[in-house]
Amino acid sequence: MSESGSGQLKVAVAGASGRMGKMLIDAIAAAPDMVLAGALGVPGSPEIGTDAGAGSGQLTGVLIQSDLALGLADADFLIDFTRPEGTLHHLDYCVANGIKMIIGTTGFDDAGKDAIREAGARIAIMLSPNMSVGVNVTLKLLEMAARSMAEGYDIEIVEAHHRHKVDAPSGTALKMGEVIADALGRDLKQCAVYGREGVTGARDPSTIGFATIRGGDIVGDHTVLFAGIGERIEISHKSSSRVTYAHGALRAARFLASRDKGLFDMQDVLALS
């Protein structure tokens, strides 16, 4: 891996003009061991050709580019919190050019997940639907809780996000469901219930329910309910700022710095696996 002359990690950001992109750019600027080495935007966006730090009033000298060759020419890492189709396009370029990826994009279908898994045989990738340290500690707690309450408890996952979020349930909620299902020896695809309406009949105790709320500027709230007879346990995580995701992504880049290839998640980064 090449680094800048000062030994800093050279990091590019996809979706540089979006809310998460701007947060990442600010976090990189504040990190003494990193430098912003590139910024990507959607073709046709009015921000193309402008300074990546203009949105926060902190000029970086890095222009937002839609051409991957220009935007990633100096980068060793790409942090990507965009959309599945964009991330997979970036993935092909990163594999061909040996650029490590930190992927926080959600909503991948099975083919997309397979493509990322295959790419991990050639470059180092950290894939996580939520890079918050707190969320990933919560996932570990859910694994422990599910094993202890495997019988006699109904499991429901409730998530809330801002009005602009386009996928549901959230990637974090789905990851919570996967962790719980794995701990119980179930297949989430077979036991998940994503909506209830009308006369549904009694609840199947083997299912894991999901409920989705969209509104306002909610950054991200997740609660898992284990409801038994005579008691219920709620494990919750609430985000008040996207900065926690940015800090997690930078922590992931530091983790990947010593790895040439492989597919990792935040549980690996935090030594929770």
- Pairing label, strands 220-227, 154-161: antiparallel
Q: 104 pairs with which residues across the strands?
A: none
The kind and range of the H/E element at 98 are: none
Pairwise CA distance, residues 111 & 104, whole Å: 17
Choice among 89, 140, 165, 261 that is catalytic:
165
Does the active-site annotation cover 165?
Answer: yes
What are φ and ψ of residue 3, in 5° steps? -130, 170
Write out the E strands in the chain.
Answer: 9-13, 34-40, 64-65, 77-80, 100-103, 124-127, 154-161, 192-193, 208-214, 220-227, 232-239, 262-264
- Which residue type sits at 64? I
Closest CA to 129 of 255, 248, 40: 248
Does the active-site annotation cover 175?
Answer: no
Pairwise CA distance, residues 145 & 222, whole Å: 16
Choice among 10, 100, 161, 222 that is catalytic:
161
Question: Distances from the Cα of 228 to the Cαs of 153, 154, 234, in angstroms?
Answer: 4, 6, 11
Cβ contacts of 189 within 8 Å, gap of 6 or more:
none
| Catalytic center residues | 161, 165
